[in-house]
Amino acid sequence: MLSDSIRAVILGIVEGVTEFLPVSSTGHLLLVERFLGLDESGFWKSFAVLIQLGAILAILAIYFARLWRIALGLFAGDVGARRFVIGVLVAFLPAAIIGAAVGGLVKSYLFNPWVVCFSLIVGGAILLWVDQLDLRPTQHDATSFPLRMYLKIGFAQCLAMIPGVSRSGATIVGAMLLGADKRAAAEFSFFLAIPTMVGAFAYDLYKSRADMTMDGSVTIAIGFAVSFVTAIIVVRTFLDYVTRHGFTLFAWWRVIVGTIGLIALALGK
């Protein structure tokens, strides 16, 4: 029987590795929770969202200098900085509005391992397809996309409400189909993750405030620290890798995990 600390480490690693890769952190966490026997526990459901803060802080740490310059530019009247912040907010709005409207229904009907596995496989096929397209990028800086493009990427992100789709995957594919190169698309998925994940974190923290005992807080802290360190390592290597090699590795990762998951579910695991 695994201790809560070991479970926290496992889930923290899964969160840190998968949050910013186009493989679906929610989908992987749901599958791991299922196979660890945690899917019926309200605490572990909250834990899976709360440790996302560690991954968010990893992005803030990596891009601190760049984000700090943008923040200073806001107060100095920098038009480019203001336009980028508005762009991120515009991209965030569809998920915020649609999530508030249908989030409960999605969680009630779609948050199950079968949906996750099918979504992983379909998403992998889409990544393979996008990787084969002869795209001619026109946007090479994630901070200077047209406002209309930011909005369209925001709607693409909404597909990730289906577990297994991948928030970063939907954002990256949407951005690339709209004219961004691979690196800019991946970077914008990181930036858009900040308000999206902070919103999810704040909402779930409010809902689960009654369950936050001292023991629970220690377990969450372990998962938080592990996801923070793991996410920093992954993000630092992901951009260079995807720029040179594309998304084929992550596409097959999704297909393999989804297929293994379906087989395990069919066998009653």
Contacts 24+ apart (CB under 8 A), 184-190: 184/137, 184/139, 184/140, 184/141, 184/142, 184/145, 185/142, 186/238, 186/239, 186/242, 187/142, 187/239, 188/91, 188/142, 188/145, 188/153, 189/20, 190/20, 190/59, 190/63, 190/235
Confidence of residue 231 (pLDDT cuts 50, 70, 90): very high
pTM: 0.88
pLDDT digits (tens, 9 = 90+) for 62-112: 999 999 999 999 888 889 999 999 999 999 999 989 988 887 788 788 888
Confidence of residue 49 (pLDDT cuts 50, 70, 90): confident
Q: What is the pLDDT of residue 209?
A: 65
Please say if the pLDDT value at position 208 is more than 70. Answer: no
pLDDT digits (tens, 9 = 90+) for 139-196: 999 999 999 999 999 999 999 999 999 999 999 999 999 999 999 999 999 999 988 8
Please say if the pLDDT value at position 213 is more than 70. Answer: no
pLDDT digits (tens, 9 = 90+) for 55-67: 989 999 999 999 9
Structural domain boundaries of the chain? 4-266
